[in-house]
Amino acid sequence: MTGPLRRFRALPLRSRLALLVATAVAVAVAAVAGACWFVTKAQLERQLDDSLRNSQVDAIYLTNLYAYCKGTTPIPPRPFAGAYTVQLVDSQGTVCIAPDETSKLPVSDADIAVAEGDRRYALHTSTAADDTQMRVYTYQLQAGDRPGRIAVSIARPMNEIDDPLSTLAWVLLIVSGIGVVGAGAAGLWIARSGLRPVDELTEAVEHVARTEDLTVRIPVEGEDEIARLSRSFNSMTASLATSRDRQSQLIADAGHELRTPLTSLRTNIELLARSDETGRAIPPDDRKALMTSVKAQMTELASLIGDLQELARPDAAQPGPLQVVALHDITRTALQRARLRGPELRITEELAPWYVRAEPAALERAVVNVLDNAVKFSPPGGTVDVTLDRGELTVRDHGPGIPADELPHVFERFWRSPSARQLPGSGLGLSIVARTVQQAGGVIALSPAEGGGTAATIRLPGAPQPPPEL
């Protein structure tokens, strides 16, 4: 059983479907044909039995036949009309038959019982002396017709129903064969038609695997499972194409951003190296400026590499373990770092307690990045206002602000406002902030502030309870 099943599974899908359809139709046709044959057989046998029961053999013929069989008259009775075989059976099992009858029928116990009067009639099938199958009906003679204890057996050949049944069997066999072949052909056609979208999907997948062309799309028709599969494939290839484009763009942007500090760093190092090689000393002030520039560029490179490592985590990756943390404490810690970076600025805070579920380190980096932007774009001696009220953290600076046409791009990777390209930074901070806030279930938005400047707003859902240690 394992071998045929393994060979069946090795067939192509359309062949298996066609074979299953043909098998199902064959079983159904065989069941219907068999039922039809048996019902017809039962009906023909019933009709034959009724014909035997309703047959009438006149008393004169029976009397003459009995006298001829007993030898009381040498004259045989006239031939019995109809396709019947008639014989007399006594209680001893003796058979009396007319000389024109073709073959004697065997006597059964039921026939003898009828002759003795124990049964009214008997109906059975017997084989005559010439091997002909006969249907036999035995009944008692009427009292006025019976010269003794005698029963009459009337028989008709079974080929009267066997021949039609044989013809019907051949007809059913031929029709069933045609039906099975037609069902197999129809099943193959249906399988080919139904699996055409699957073939198209297979060709598309093979094309993508062979050429890495993610622009392939499959036409979607209807709302069935194949259409859902096609839509899912199109959505998958579109997502992969977008991911690859983002990856290519990230590499290109990273290369562009890395090129500038590296070029400047190389130029400064070459100047210092040439000074040592030629023996021409660089003025102390110029040397100090070069070293300061080298340190700033190294710091910028380190910051850019750290941001790239952060962005290397896929957007769909699961964040670290979420914990119930105090957003006001995290903001207060971030404010301490911001005051160190902008000691000339006035930073106000108004923080109401609020607990959220988030990854503590990632959330702290996000708040620090927002505060760094506010410090970076604030004028000397300016003010940065920080408030936290019912899960809404607002950082408002009094800098030049962001033009309305640039607001939709502020969360894109490596995007930097033309006015900010001369300032330090990689253009990755806000994209990291946006991802961290989204992973915590919140939203972030930048908008122009009244009176000038920019307001960064982070909204985070509250945790069901404060941390256990508090």
pLDDT tens per residue, range 157-210: 888 888 888 888 898 888 888 887 887 787 777 777 767 777 777 777 787 778
Burial class for 430, CB neighbours closer than 10 Å (0-12, 13-18, 19+): buried
Instruction: Provide the b/e sequence for 308-340 (b: ≥16 CB within 10 Å).
Output: bebbeeeeeeeeeebebbbbbbbbeebbeebee
Read off the pLDDT of each residue in 392-404 and give the average, rounded to a whole number.
Answer: 85
pLDDT at site 470: 45
- Would the pLDDT of 317 be above 70? no
Q: 148 with 90: CB under 8 angstroms? A: yes
Q: 410 with 430: CB under 8 angstroms? A: yes
Burial class for 122, CB neighbours closer than 10 Å (0-12, 13-18, 19+): buried
Q: How many helices (H) and strands (E) does the chain have?
A: 11, 12
pLDDT at site 387: 92
Q: Which segments of 71-135 does DSSP mark as H helices, in order?
A: 109-116
Q: 151 with 124: CB under 8 angstroms? A: no
pLDDT at site 185: 81
Express the helix, strand and coil content of the chain in percent, nearest 5 each.
55, 15, 30
pLDDT-wise least confident of 1-10, 269-278, 419-428: 419-428
Q: Which ranges in the chain are annotated with CATH 3.30.565.10?
A: 323-459
- Which residue did the predictor score with more confidence, 3 or 365? 365
- Would the pLDDT of 134 be above 50? yes
Read off the pLDDT of each residue in 297-302 and give the average, rounded to a whole number.
Answer: 72
Q: Per DSSP, what are the bridge partners of residue 417?
A: none
- Beta-carbon neighbour count of residue 246 at 10 Å? 12
φ and ψ at residue 103, rounded to 5 degrees = -155, 145
Is the pTM for the entire model greater than 0.75?
A: no
Q: Which segments of 55-117 does DSSP mark as H helices, in order?
A: 59-70, 109-116
- Output the CA–CA distances (angstroms, integers) from residue 132 to 81, 112, 135, in the order listed: 20, 21, 10
pLDDT at site 233: 79
Q: 89 with 122: CB under 8 angstroms? A: no
pLDDT at site 143: 46
Burial class for 4, CB neighbours closer than 10 Å (0-12, 13-18, 19+): exposed
The domain defined by 323-459 carries CATH number 3.40.50.300: no
pLDDT-wise least confident of 42-56, 242-256, 381-395: 242-256
- Which residue did the predictor score with more confidence, 428 or 118? 118
Q: Angle formed by the axes of helices 225-278 and 284-311, to 10°?
A: 160
Q: Which two tokens stand for residue 55?
A: 């047959």
Closest CA to 424 of 372, 347, 363: 372
Q: Which ranges in the chain are annotated with CATH 1.10.287.130?
A: 225-311
- Which residue did the predictor score with more confidence, 245 or 257? 245
Q: Give residue 388's pLDDT band: very low, low, confident or very high (50, 70, 90).
A: very high
Helix (H) or strand (E) holding 446: strand 443-448
- Please give the CATH topology (third level) of the domain spanning 225-311: Helix Hairpins (1.10.287)
